[in-house]
Structure 1
Amino acid sequence: MTSPDSPVVHLSNARLDRGGRTILRDIDLSVPRGSITAVLGPSGSGKSTLLAALTGELPLAAGTVEVFGKPVPRGTRHLLEMRKGIGVLLQGNGLLTDLSVGENVALPLRTHTKLPAVLVERIVNFKLNAVGLLAAADAYPRELSGGMARRVALARALALDPPLMIYDEPLTGLDPIASGVIMSLIQRLNDTLGLTSVIVTHHVHETLPIADQAVVIANGGIVFSGTPAELEATTDPLVLQFLRGQPDGPIAFDATPRTEAA
Protein backbone atom coordinates (compact mmCIF):
# COMPACT_ATOMS: atom_id res chain seq x y z
CA MET A 1 0.00 0.00 0.00
CA THR A 2 1.14 3.59 -0.63
CA SER A 3 1.81 5.97 2.24
CA PRO A 4 -0.98 8.46 3.07
CA ASP A 5 1.64 11.19 2.64
CA SER A 6 2.81 10.07 -0.81
CA PRO A 7 1.48 11.99 -3.84
CA VAL A 8 -1.31 10.38 -5.84
CA VAL A 9 0.32 11.60 -9.07
CA HIS A 10 4.03 12.21 -9.55
CA LEU A 11 5.91 13.12 -12.72
CA SER A 12 9.68 13.54 -12.76
CA ASN A 13 11.66 15.05 -15.65
CA ALA A 14 8.91 13.89 -18.01
CA ARG A 15 9.01 14.46 -21.76
CA LEU A 16 5.93 13.96 -23.92
CA ASP A 17 6.12 13.55 -27.69
CA ARG A 18 3.45 13.34 -30.36
CA GLY A 19 4.10 12.67 -34.03
CA GLY A 20 7.86 12.79 -33.56
CA ARG A 21 7.73 16.23 -31.94
CA THR A 22 8.20 17.17 -28.30
CA ILE A 23 5.07 18.79 -26.83
CA LEU A 24 6.18 19.05 -23.19
CA ARG A 25 9.58 18.59 -21.58
CA ASP A 26 11.17 18.70 -18.11
CA ILE A 27 7.81 18.22 -16.39
CA ASP A 28 8.04 17.81 -12.60
CA LEU A 29 4.68 17.62 -10.87
CA SER A 30 3.33 16.16 -7.63
CA VAL A 31 -0.38 16.04 -6.79
CA PRO A 32 -0.88 15.64 -3.01
CA ARG A 33 -3.49 13.22 -1.73
CA GLY A 34 -6.84 14.91 -1.06
CA SER A 35 -5.92 18.07 -2.97
CA ILE A 36 -7.39 19.89 -5.96
CA THR A 37 -4.72 20.76 -8.51
CA ALA A 38 -5.53 23.16 -11.33
CA VAL A 39 -3.47 22.65 -14.50
CA LEU A 40 -3.89 25.91 -16.39
CA GLY A 41 -2.67 27.18 -19.73
CA PRO A 42 -3.72 28.58 -23.09
CA SER A 43 -5.29 26.41 -25.76
CA GLY A 44 -2.73 24.20 -27.47
CA SER A 45 -0.22 24.44 -24.63
CA GLY A 46 -0.19 20.69 -23.95
CA LYS A 47 -2.67 20.35 -21.08
CA SER A 48 -4.57 17.49 -22.70
CA THR A 49 -1.27 15.84 -23.62
CA LEU A 50 -0.35 15.86 -19.94
CA LEU A 51 -3.74 14.33 -19.10
CA ALA A 52 -3.08 11.55 -21.63
CA ALA A 53 0.14 10.72 -19.80
CA LEU A 54 -1.66 10.41 -16.46
CA THR A 55 -4.20 7.93 -17.85
CA GLY A 56 -1.60 5.92 -19.75
CA GLU A 57 -3.00 6.84 -23.15
CA LEU A 58 0.34 8.44 -24.11
CA PRO A 59 3.55 6.76 -22.84
CA LEU A 60 6.35 9.09 -21.78
CA ALA A 61 9.24 9.62 -24.17
CA ALA A 62 11.51 10.19 -21.16
CA GLY A 63 11.27 10.52 -17.37
CA THR A 64 8.78 8.83 -15.07
CA VAL A 65 5.09 9.06 -14.20
CA GLU A 66 3.56 7.37 -11.18
CA VAL A 67 -0.10 7.10 -10.21
CA PHE A 68 -1.07 5.70 -6.81
CA GLY A 69 2.63 5.25 -6.05
CA LYS A 70 3.31 2.94 -9.00
CA PRO A 71 4.60 3.56 -12.53
CA VAL A 72 1.82 3.83 -15.09
CA PRO A 73 1.78 0.34 -16.69
CA ARG A 74 2.21 -0.37 -20.39
CA GLY A 75 0.37 -3.70 -20.58
CA THR A 76 -3.31 -3.47 -21.51
CA ARG A 77 -4.64 -5.56 -18.61
CA HIS A 78 -2.69 -3.70 -15.93
CA LEU A 79 -3.50 -0.36 -17.53
CA LEU A 80 -7.24 -1.10 -17.49
CA GLU A 81 -6.97 -2.11 -13.83
CA MET A 82 -5.26 1.19 -12.97
CA ARG A 83 -7.87 3.19 -14.87
CA LYS A 84 -10.65 1.78 -12.69
CA GLY A 85 -9.22 4.02 -9.97
CA ILE A 86 -9.37 7.12 -12.17
CA GLY A 87 -12.57 8.96 -12.99
CA VAL A 88 -12.42 11.22 -16.04
CA LEU A 89 -14.92 13.94 -16.87
CA LEU A 90 -14.58 14.57 -20.60
CA GLN A 91 -15.07 17.91 -22.36
CA GLY A 92 -17.91 16.56 -24.47
CA ASN A 93 -19.51 14.58 -21.62
CA GLY A 94 -19.52 11.38 -23.70
CA LEU A 95 -23.08 10.45 -22.73
CA LEU A 96 -24.74 7.78 -24.87
CA THR A 97 -27.81 9.36 -26.40
CA ASP A 98 -29.84 6.15 -26.66
CA LEU A 99 -29.46 5.43 -22.92
CA SER A 100 -31.32 7.19 -20.14
CA VAL A 101 -29.50 9.21 -17.49
CA GLY A 102 -29.67 6.31 -15.06
CA GLU A 103 -28.47 3.82 -17.67
CA ASN A 104 -25.51 6.07 -18.54
CA VAL A 105 -24.42 6.21 -14.89
CA ALA A 106 -24.91 2.45 -14.53
CA LEU A 107 -22.77 1.64 -17.57
CA PRO A 108 -19.37 1.49 -15.76
CA LEU A 109 -20.88 -0.65 -13.00
CA ARG A 110 -22.38 -3.12 -15.46
CA THR A 111 -19.17 -3.22 -17.52
CA HIS A 112 -16.60 -3.59 -14.75
CA THR A 113 -18.45 -5.30 -11.89
CA LYS A 114 -20.75 -8.27 -11.29
CA LEU A 115 -22.99 -6.45 -8.84
CA PRO A 116 -26.68 -7.48 -8.77
CA ALA A 117 -29.11 -5.19 -10.54
CA VAL A 118 -30.70 -4.03 -7.27
CA LEU A 119 -27.36 -2.84 -5.92
CA VAL A 120 -26.44 -1.16 -9.22
CA GLU A 121 -29.72 0.77 -9.08
CA ARG A 122 -29.00 1.90 -5.51
CA ILE A 123 -25.51 3.09 -6.43
CA VAL A 124 -26.85 4.95 -9.48
CA ASN A 125 -29.46 6.70 -7.35
CA PHE A 126 -26.79 7.62 -4.79
CA LYS A 127 -24.50 9.10 -7.45
CA LEU A 128 -27.32 11.03 -9.13
CA ASN A 129 -28.47 12.34 -5.78
CA ALA A 130 -24.91 13.54 -5.09
CA VAL A 131 -25.03 15.75 -8.19
CA GLY A 132 -28.63 16.85 -7.62
CA LEU A 133 -30.20 14.91 -10.50
CA LEU A 134 -31.98 11.96 -8.94
CA ALA A 135 -35.28 13.18 -10.40
CA ALA A 136 -33.79 13.05 -13.91
CA ALA A 137 -32.85 9.35 -13.82
CA ASP A 138 -35.37 8.42 -16.53
CA ALA A 139 -34.61 11.38 -18.80
CA TYR A 140 -32.44 11.15 -21.91
CA PRO A 141 -29.35 13.29 -22.64
CA ARG A 142 -31.18 15.24 -25.37
CA GLU A 143 -33.64 16.45 -22.74
CA LEU A 144 -30.94 17.95 -20.51
CA SER A 145 -29.31 21.37 -20.42
CA GLY A 146 -25.55 21.58 -20.86
CA GLY A 147 -24.99 21.95 -17.13
CA MET A 148 -27.25 19.02 -16.31
CA ALA A 149 -25.50 16.81 -18.89
CA ARG A 150 -22.14 17.71 -17.35
CA ARG A 151 -23.43 16.69 -13.91
CA VAL A 152 -24.67 13.36 -15.28
CA ALA A 153 -21.23 12.76 -16.77
CA LEU A 154 -19.73 13.58 -13.37
CA ALA A 155 -22.02 11.07 -11.66
CA ARG A 156 -20.96 8.43 -14.20
CA ALA A 157 -17.27 9.23 -13.66
CA LEU A 158 -17.83 8.66 -9.93
CA ALA A 159 -19.73 5.39 -10.37
CA LEU A 160 -16.80 3.13 -9.48
CA ASP A 161 -15.71 5.32 -6.52
CA PRO A 162 -12.35 6.30 -8.04
CA PRO A 163 -9.89 7.90 -5.60
CA LEU A 164 -8.53 10.14 -8.39
CA MET A 165 -10.68 12.41 -10.53
CA ILE A 166 -9.45 14.16 -13.68
CA TYR A 167 -11.55 16.94 -15.17
CA ASP A 168 -10.80 17.86 -18.79
CA GLU A 169 -12.06 21.42 -19.38
CA PRO A 170 -15.16 20.89 -17.19
CA LEU A 171 -16.61 24.35 -17.91
CA THR A 172 -16.54 24.25 -21.71
CA GLY A 173 -19.83 25.49 -23.15
CA LEU A 174 -21.41 26.30 -19.78
CA ASP A 175 -22.96 29.61 -18.70
CA PRO A 176 -21.70 31.36 -15.53
CA ILE A 177 -24.36 29.82 -13.28
CA ALA A 178 -23.79 26.28 -14.54
CA SER A 179 -20.03 26.85 -14.23
CA GLY A 180 -20.47 27.88 -10.60
CA VAL A 181 -22.57 24.78 -9.92
CA ILE A 182 -19.93 22.47 -11.44
CA MET A 183 -17.05 24.10 -9.52
CA SER A 184 -19.00 23.91 -6.27
CA LEU A 185 -19.79 20.24 -6.94
CA ILE A 186 -16.14 19.41 -7.65
CA GLN A 187 -15.05 20.98 -4.37
CA ARG A 188 -17.84 19.41 -2.31
CA LEU A 189 -17.34 15.93 -3.76
CA ASN A 190 -13.58 16.18 -3.32
CA ASP A 191 -14.05 16.99 0.36
CA THR A 192 -16.90 14.63 1.23
CA LEU A 193 -15.62 11.62 -0.72
CA GLY A 194 -11.94 12.13 0.12
CA LEU A 195 -10.93 12.41 -3.54
CA THR A 196 -7.85 13.81 -5.21
CA SER A 197 -8.67 15.98 -8.21
CA VAL A 198 -6.79 17.36 -11.22
CA ILE A 199 -8.63 20.04 -13.20
CA VAL A 200 -7.23 20.69 -16.68
CA THR A 201 -8.62 24.04 -17.81
CA HIS A 202 -8.03 27.51 -19.19
CA HIS A 203 -10.80 28.97 -16.98
CA VAL A 204 -8.57 30.64 -14.40
CA HIS A 205 -10.91 32.78 -12.35
CA GLU A 206 -13.55 30.07 -11.90
CA THR A 207 -11.03 27.40 -10.92
CA LEU A 208 -8.54 29.11 -8.59
CA PRO A 209 -11.02 29.64 -5.71
CA ILE A 210 -11.39 25.88 -5.18
CA ALA A 211 -7.78 24.86 -5.97
CA ASP A 212 -5.07 23.99 -3.46
CA GLN A 213 -2.32 24.01 -6.09
CA ALA A 214 -1.98 25.79 -9.43
CA VAL A 215 0.26 24.81 -12.34
CA VAL A 216 0.59 26.88 -15.52
CA ILE A 217 1.77 25.25 -18.75
CA ALA A 218 3.03 27.32 -21.65
CA ASN A 219 5.81 27.29 -24.27
CA GLY A 220 6.41 23.55 -23.87
CA GLY A 221 6.76 23.28 -20.11
CA ILE A 222 5.63 24.30 -16.63
CA VAL A 223 6.15 28.04 -16.17
CA PHE A 224 4.55 28.28 -12.71
CA SER A 225 3.80 25.93 -9.82
CA GLY A 226 2.51 27.06 -6.45
CA THR A 227 -0.57 28.11 -4.52
CA PRO A 228 -3.41 30.12 -6.08
CA ALA A 229 -2.40 33.08 -3.89
CA GLU A 230 1.17 32.88 -5.20
CA LEU A 231 -0.14 32.71 -8.76
CA GLU A 232 -2.29 35.80 -8.32
CA ALA A 233 0.70 37.68 -6.85
CA THR A 234 3.10 36.71 -9.65
CA THR A 235 5.05 39.32 -11.58
CA ASP A 236 6.26 36.89 -14.27
CA PRO A 237 5.35 38.55 -17.61
CA LEU A 238 4.65 35.19 -19.28
CA VAL A 239 2.22 34.11 -16.57
CA LEU A 240 0.66 37.57 -16.37
CA GLN A 241 -0.02 37.52 -20.11
CA PHE A 242 -2.07 34.35 -19.68
CA LEU A 243 -3.88 35.52 -16.54
CA ARG A 244 -4.81 38.88 -18.09
CA GLY A 245 -5.61 37.53 -21.55
CA GLN A 246 -3.17 39.86 -23.29
CA PRO A 247 -2.71 39.18 -27.04
CA ASP A 248 0.93 40.32 -27.05
CA GLY A 249 3.67 38.89 -24.88
CA PRO A 250 6.00 35.91 -24.38
CA ILE A 251 3.24 33.43 -25.34
CA ALA A 252 2.94 33.61 -29.11
CA PHE A 253 -0.50 33.66 -30.75
CA ASP A 254 0.82 32.18 -34.02
CA ALA A 255 1.69 28.50 -34.10
CA THR A 256 5.42 27.88 -33.74
CA PRO A 257 7.35 24.80 -34.85
CA ARG A 258 7.47 22.15 -32.13
CA THR A 259 10.82 20.90 -30.91
CA GLU A 260 11.94 17.76 -32.69
CA ALA A 261 11.98 14.77 -30.34
CA ALA A 262 15.43 13.74 -29.20
Structure 2
Amino acid sequence: MTVPATAAVQLTGVRLDRGGRTILRDLDLVVPRGSITAVLGPSGTGKSTLLAALTGELVPAAGEVRVFGQSVPQGSRDLLEMRKGIGVLLQGNGLLTDLSVAENVALPLRAHTRLPEPLLQRLVAMKLNAVGLRAAADLYPRELSGGMARRVALARALALDPPLMLYDEPLTGLDPIASGVIMSLIRRLSRSLGLTSIIVSHHVRETLPIADQAVVIANGGIVFDGTPAQLESSEDPLLRQFLHGEPDGPIPFEGAVPRTRAAGAHA
Protein backbone atom coordinates (compact mmCIF):
# COMPACT_ATOMS: atom_id res chain seq x y z
CA MET A 1 0.00 0.00 0.00
CA THR A 2 1.44 3.37 -1.03
CA VAL A 3 1.07 5.86 1.81
CA PRO A 4 1.09 9.61 1.12
CA ALA A 5 3.40 11.84 3.13
CA THR A 6 0.29 13.62 4.39
CA ALA A 7 -0.92 10.55 6.30
CA ALA A 8 -1.64 11.17 9.98
CA VAL A 9 -2.42 7.53 10.80
CA GLN A 10 -1.41 4.41 8.90
CA LEU A 11 -2.30 0.80 9.66
CA THR A 12 -0.65 -1.94 7.63
CA GLY A 13 -1.66 -5.59 7.95
CA VAL A 14 -2.74 -5.08 11.56
CA ARG A 15 -4.26 -7.82 13.68
CA LEU A 16 -5.62 -6.99 17.12
CA ASP A 17 -6.17 -9.65 19.77
CA ARG A 18 -7.69 -9.50 23.25
CA GLY A 19 -7.69 -12.38 25.70
CA GLY A 20 -6.25 -14.73 23.11
CA ARG A 21 -9.09 -13.97 20.68
CA THR A 22 -8.70 -12.07 17.41
CA ILE A 23 -10.95 -9.01 17.41
CA LEU A 24 -9.83 -7.35 14.15
CA ARG A 25 -7.64 -8.67 11.35
CA ASP A 26 -6.03 -7.56 8.07
CA LEU A 27 -6.47 -3.85 8.83
CA ASP A 28 -5.09 -1.54 6.14
CA LEU A 29 -6.05 2.09 6.66
CA VAL A 30 -4.73 5.59 5.89
CA VAL A 31 -6.14 8.65 7.65
CA PRO A 32 -5.07 11.91 5.94
CA ARG A 33 -3.77 14.80 8.01
CA GLY A 34 -6.38 17.43 8.74
CA SER A 35 -9.30 15.12 7.97
CA ILE A 36 -12.30 14.02 10.00
CA THR A 37 -12.67 10.25 9.77
CA ALA A 38 -15.75 8.44 11.02
CA VAL A 39 -15.14 4.86 12.14
CA LEU A 40 -18.59 3.29 12.16
CA GLY A 41 -19.99 -0.11 12.92
CA PRO A 42 -22.35 -2.06 15.16
CA SER A 43 -21.67 -2.24 18.90
CA GLY A 44 -19.08 -4.80 19.92
CA THR A 45 -17.30 -5.00 16.56
CA GLY A 46 -13.93 -3.67 17.76
CA LYS A 47 -14.09 0.08 17.09
CA SER A 48 -12.75 1.00 20.52
CA THR A 49 -10.13 -1.74 20.18
CA LEU A 50 -8.86 0.11 17.11
CA LEU A 51 -8.45 3.30 19.16
CA ALA A 52 -6.54 1.35 21.81
CA ALA A 53 -4.01 0.39 19.12
CA LEU A 54 -3.59 4.03 18.08
CA THR A 55 -2.80 5.15 21.64
CA GLY A 56 -0.43 2.24 22.26
CA GLU A 57 -2.66 0.73 24.93
CA LEU A 58 -2.95 -2.42 22.80
CA VAL A 59 0.08 -3.78 20.93
CA PRO A 60 -0.86 -5.37 17.57
CA ALA A 61 -0.43 -9.13 17.32
CA ALA A 62 0.68 -8.51 13.72
CA GLY A 63 1.31 -5.58 11.40
CA GLU A 64 2.27 -1.99 12.15
CA VAL A 65 0.53 1.15 13.41
CA ARG A 66 2.13 4.50 12.55
CA VAL A 67 1.09 7.93 13.84
CA PHE A 68 2.47 10.95 11.96
CA GLY A 69 5.05 8.73 10.30
CA GLN A 70 6.34 7.12 13.48
CA SER A 71 5.64 3.56 14.58
CA VAL A 72 3.71 3.53 17.87
CA PRO A 73 6.42 2.86 20.49
CA GLN A 74 6.26 0.21 23.18
CA GLY A 75 8.71 1.75 25.65
CA SER A 76 6.88 3.62 28.42
CA ARG A 77 8.86 6.87 28.09
CA ASP A 78 8.55 7.08 24.29
CA LEU A 79 4.89 6.09 24.49
CA LEU A 80 4.17 8.84 27.01
CA GLU A 81 5.86 11.38 24.74
CA MET A 82 3.79 10.24 21.75
CA ARG A 83 0.56 10.41 23.74
CA LYS A 84 1.11 14.11 24.41
CA GLY A 85 0.23 14.61 20.75
CA ILE A 86 -3.03 12.64 21.00
CA GLY A 87 -6.19 13.97 22.63
CA VAL A 88 -8.80 11.41 23.66
CA LEU A 89 -12.45 12.06 24.48
CA LEU A 90 -13.71 9.08 26.47
CA GLN A 91 -17.27 7.75 26.56
CA GLY A 92 -17.60 8.39 30.28
CA ASN A 93 -15.87 11.79 30.20
CA GLY A 94 -13.43 10.78 32.97
CA LEU A 95 -13.85 14.02 34.91
CA LEU A 96 -12.60 14.01 38.51
CA THR A 97 -15.60 14.77 40.70
CA ASP A 98 -13.67 16.53 43.49
CA LEU A 99 -12.08 19.03 41.08
CA SER A 100 -13.76 22.04 39.51
CA VAL A 101 -14.25 22.37 35.77
CA ALA A 102 -11.18 24.62 35.49
CA GLU A 103 -9.07 22.25 37.59
CA ASN A 104 -10.10 19.29 35.42
CA VAL A 105 -9.05 21.12 32.25
CA ALA A 106 -5.77 22.19 33.89
CA LEU A 107 -4.77 18.59 34.73
CA PRO A 108 -2.87 17.79 31.48
CA LEU A 109 -1.12 21.17 31.58
CA ARG A 110 0.04 20.61 35.16
CA ALA A 111 1.16 17.05 34.38
CA HIS A 112 3.10 17.78 31.19
CA THR A 113 4.24 21.40 31.34
CA ARG A 114 5.90 23.82 33.74
CA LEU A 115 3.94 26.87 32.73
CA PRO A 116 3.65 29.80 35.14
CA GLU A 117 0.30 29.73 36.93
CA PRO A 118 -1.07 32.93 35.31
CA LEU A 119 -0.35 31.57 31.82
CA LEU A 120 -1.80 28.16 32.72
CA GLN A 121 -5.01 29.81 33.94
CA ARG A 122 -5.27 31.85 30.72
CA LEU A 123 -4.90 28.69 28.65
CA VAL A 124 -7.61 26.96 30.69
CA ALA A 125 -9.93 29.92 30.13
CA MET A 126 -9.19 29.79 26.38
CA LYS A 127 -10.00 26.07 26.18
CA LEU A 128 -13.25 26.52 28.08
CA ASN A 129 -14.15 29.49 25.90
CA ALA A 130 -13.56 27.32 22.81
CA VAL A 131 -16.30 24.94 23.97
CA GLY A 132 -18.61 27.70 25.21
CA LEU A 133 -18.14 27.04 28.93
CA ARG A 134 -15.87 29.78 30.25
CA ALA A 135 -18.60 30.84 32.70
CA ALA A 136 -18.71 27.30 34.15
CA ALA A 137 -15.06 27.28 35.29
CA ASP A 138 -15.89 27.15 39.02
CA LEU A 139 -18.62 24.52 38.78
CA TYR A 140 -18.09 20.86 39.70
CA PRO A 141 -18.92 17.86 37.49
CA ARG A 142 -22.02 17.01 39.58
CA GLU A 143 -23.43 20.43 38.68
CA LEU A 144 -23.14 19.89 34.93
CA SER A 145 -25.60 18.46 32.42
CA GLY A 146 -24.45 15.54 30.28
CA GLY A 147 -23.72 17.80 27.33
CA MET A 148 -21.78 20.28 29.47
CA ALA A 149 -19.69 17.50 31.01
CA ARG A 150 -18.86 16.20 27.55
CA ARG A 151 -17.73 19.68 26.48
CA VAL A 152 -15.53 20.02 29.56
CA ALA A 153 -13.94 16.67 28.72
CA LEU A 154 -13.38 17.96 25.19
CA ALA A 155 -11.69 21.11 26.51
CA ARG A 156 -9.42 18.95 28.66
CA ALA A 157 -8.56 16.68 25.71
CA LEU A 158 -7.53 19.80 23.76
CA ALA A 159 -5.47 21.30 26.59
CA LEU A 160 -2.08 20.34 25.12
CA ASP A 161 -3.07 21.31 21.55
CA PRO A 162 -2.74 17.74 20.22
CA PRO A 163 -2.61 17.41 16.42
CA LEU A 164 -4.63 14.16 16.61
CA MET A 165 -7.98 13.83 18.37
CA LEU A 166 -9.68 10.51 19.06
CA TYR A 167 -13.37 10.43 20.01
CA ASP A 168 -14.75 7.22 21.52
CA GLU A 169 -18.55 7.27 21.09
CA PRO A 170 -18.82 11.02 21.84
CA LEU A 171 -22.64 11.02 21.71
CA THR A 172 -23.28 8.27 24.27
CA GLY A 173 -25.99 9.32 26.72
CA LEU A 174 -26.67 12.68 25.09
CA ASP A 175 -30.02 14.00 23.90
CA PRO A 176 -30.41 15.12 20.25
CA ILE A 177 -29.72 18.79 21.01
CA ALA A 178 -26.56 18.07 23.03
CA SER A 179 -25.46 15.63 20.32
CA GLY A 180 -25.81 18.33 17.69
CA VAL A 181 -23.77 20.76 19.80
CA ILE A 182 -20.97 18.23 20.29
CA MET A 183 -20.75 17.30 16.60
CA SER A 184 -20.77 20.98 15.60
CA LEU A 185 -17.96 21.64 18.07
CA ILE A 186 -15.90 18.73 16.77
CA ARG A 187 -16.25 19.98 13.19
CA ARG A 188 -15.50 23.63 14.05
CA LEU A 189 -12.50 22.86 16.25
CA SER A 190 -11.09 20.32 13.79
CA ARG A 191 -11.26 22.85 10.95
CA SER A 192 -10.11 25.92 12.86
CA LEU A 193 -7.21 24.17 14.60
CA GLY A 194 -6.20 21.96 11.67
CA LEU A 195 -6.68 18.78 13.69
CA THR A 196 -6.87 15.24 12.44
CA SER A 197 -9.97 13.75 14.06
CA ILE A 198 -11.06 10.12 14.28
CA ILE A 199 -14.59 9.60 15.57
CA VAL A 200 -15.62 6.11 16.65
CA SER A 201 -19.40 5.91 16.68
CA HIS A 202 -22.49 3.90 15.86
CA HIS A 203 -24.49 7.14 15.46
CA VAL A 204 -24.42 7.20 11.68
CA ARG A 205 -26.79 10.09 10.93
CA GLU A 206 -25.09 12.48 13.33
CA THR A 207 -21.50 11.59 12.40
CA LEU A 208 -21.46 11.23 8.60
CA PRO A 209 -22.39 14.86 7.80
CA ILE A 210 -19.17 16.21 9.35
CA ALA A 211 -16.83 13.47 8.08
CA ASP A 212 -14.44 13.53 5.12
CA GLN A 213 -13.77 9.79 5.30
CA ALA A 214 -16.00 6.93 6.41
CA VAL A 215 -14.73 3.56 7.60
CA VAL A 216 -17.08 0.72 8.53
CA ILE A 217 -15.94 -2.13 10.77
CA ALA A 218 -17.93 -5.36 10.89
CA ASN A 219 -17.35 -9.11 10.98
CA GLY A 220 -13.77 -8.73 12.24
CA GLY A 221 -12.37 -6.23 9.75
CA ILE A 222 -12.83 -3.14 7.61
CA VAL A 223 -15.70 -3.67 5.20
CA PHE A 224 -15.77 -0.14 3.75
CA ASP A 225 -13.34 2.76 3.37
CA GLY A 226 -14.39 5.77 1.30
CA THR A 227 -16.34 9.01 1.37
CA PRO A 228 -19.64 9.42 3.22
CA ALA A 229 -21.40 9.90 -0.14
CA GLN A 230 -19.98 6.61 -1.43
CA LEU A 231 -21.09 4.85 1.73
CA GLU A 232 -24.64 6.17 1.53
CA SER A 233 -24.97 5.24 -2.13
CA SER A 234 -23.59 1.73 -1.69
CA GLU A 235 -25.78 -1.21 -2.65
CA ASP A 236 -23.75 -3.65 -0.53
CA PRO A 237 -26.23 -5.65 1.61
CA LEU A 238 -24.03 -5.45 4.72
CA LEU A 239 -23.63 -1.67 4.49
CA ARG A 240 -27.31 -1.12 3.75
CA GLN A 241 -28.26 -3.27 6.73
CA PHE A 242 -26.09 -1.17 9.03
CA LEU A 243 -27.08 2.20 7.61
CA HIS A 244 -30.80 1.44 7.74
CA GLY A 245 -30.78 -0.46 11.03
CA GLU A 246 -32.24 -3.66 9.61
CA PRO A 247 -32.29 -6.63 12.04
CA ASP A 248 -31.72 -9.27 9.35
CA GLY A 249 -28.71 -9.37 7.05
CA PRO A 250 -24.98 -10.20 6.82
CA ILE A 251 -24.27 -8.62 10.24
CA PRO A 252 -25.54 -10.98 12.97
CA PHE A 253 -27.39 -9.42 15.90
CA GLU A 254 -25.18 -9.63 18.99
CA GLY A 255 -25.93 -12.85 20.82
CA ALA A 256 -28.20 -14.18 18.08
CA VAL A 257 -27.74 -17.63 16.58
CA PRO A 258 -26.98 -17.42 12.83
CA ARG A 259 -29.75 -18.85 10.67
CA THR A 260 -27.59 -21.51 9.04
CA ARG A 261 -26.44 -22.76 12.41
CA ALA A 262 -29.97 -22.75 13.83
CA ALA A 263 -31.22 -24.68 10.82
CA GLY A 264 -28.48 -27.26 11.21
CA ALA A 265 -29.38 -27.78 14.86
CA HIS A 266 -32.77 -29.16 13.86
CA ALA A 267 -31.48 -31.42 11.10
In the other structure, the counterpart of 2:88 is 88
In the other structure, the counterpart of 1:115 is 115
In the other structure, the counterpart of 1:260 is none
In the other structure, the counterpart of 2:158 is 158
- Superposition pairs for residues 76-225 of structure 1, below 5 Å? 76-225=76-225
Q: Quick one: distance in 2 between partners of 1:102 and 1:167?
A: 21
Q: Quick one: distance in 2 between partners of 1:111 and 1:209?
A: 36
- How many residue pairs get aligned? The number is 255
Cα deviation, residue 253, structure 1:
1.1
Per-residue CA shift, 1:99-118, capped at 9, x if unaligned?
Answer: 00000000000011111110
When normalised by structure 2's length, the TM-score is: 0.94
Mark the structure with the bigger radius of gyration.
2
In the other structure, the counterpart of 1:248 is 248
In the other structure, the counterpart of 1:45 is 45
- CA 1:193–1:137 in structure 2 vs 1: closer, same or farther (change >3 Å)? same
Q: Quick one: distance in 1 between partners of 2:256 and 2:197?
A: 31
In the other structure, the counterpart of 2:264 is none
Aligned residue identity for 1:193: L
Per-residue CA shift, 1:30-60, capped at 9, x if unaligned?
Answer: 1100000000000000001100000000000
> 3-state SS of the aligned residue for 2:166?
strand
Per-residue CA shift, 1:139-187, capped at 9, x if unaligned?
Answer: 0000000000000000000000000000000000000110000000000
Q: Which has the higher contact order (CA 8 A, sep 6+)?
A: 1
Q: Quick one: distance in 1 between partners of 2:221 and 2:4?
A: 29
Q: Quick one: distance in 1 between partners of 2:201 and 2:55?
A: 17
Q: Quick one: distance in 1 between partners of 2:81 and 2:62?
A: 23
User: Percent identity, aligned pairs only?
Assistant: 78
Q: Quick one: distance in 2 between partners of 1:161 and 1:240?
A: 38
Q: Which runs of 4+ in 1 moved over 3 A?
A: 254-257
* Unmatched 5+ stretches in structure 1: 258-262
In the other structure, the counterpart of 1:57 is 57
* Unmatched 5+ stretches in structure 2: 258-267
Aligned residue identity for 2:76: T
- Superposition pairs for residues 26-45 of structure 1, below 5 Å? 26-45=26-45
Per-residue CA shift, 1:204-236, capped at 9, x if unaligned?
Answer: 000000000000000000011100000000000
In the other structure, the counterpart of 2:265 is none
